[in-house]
Amino acid sequence: MSEDQRSLALSTKVEEDFVAPLAALRGALEILRDFPELEDDERARFVGTALRGCSHLERAIEELASSVYAASEQTGQRDAVDPLSPEQQD
């Protein structure tokens, strides 16, 4: 795979795993903020969209952290901070 292909693949992955769900999450939250008069069913739909966006981002971050940790093990840099360690989370 060429450098350009790798760059495009990474760009696509970032868009799918981070940018798109973040945009959906932000959009849902802005609608909830800007339209307090929404009916309960409409409000529930936007809350569901926001929660799905959060879940997608959580999975993407866990996958990224696992990949980084696996790569650090392969390169012998296991002394680096474990991205999955509960002690490292705020």
pLDDT at 84: 55
Q: How high is the pLDDT of residue 50?
A: 96
User: What are the mean pLDDT values of the chain's consecutive 10-residue runs (90 residues total)?
Assistant: 82 88 96 97 97 94 88 69 56
Instruction: Compute the 3-state secondary structure of the chain and give helix, strand, coil in percent, each to the nearest 5.
Output: 80, 0, 20
pLDDT for the residue numbered 79: 54
Name 38's Cβ contacts closer than 8 Å, sequence gap at least 6: 31, 32, 46
Report field, pTM of the whole predicted structure over 0.75: no
Residue type, 16: E
pLDDT at 89: 53
Q: Collapse the DSSP code of 36 into the 3-class scheme (helix H, G, I; strand E, B; otherwise coil) and give the result.
A: coil
Beta carbons within 8 Å of 85's beta carbon, 6+ residues apart: none
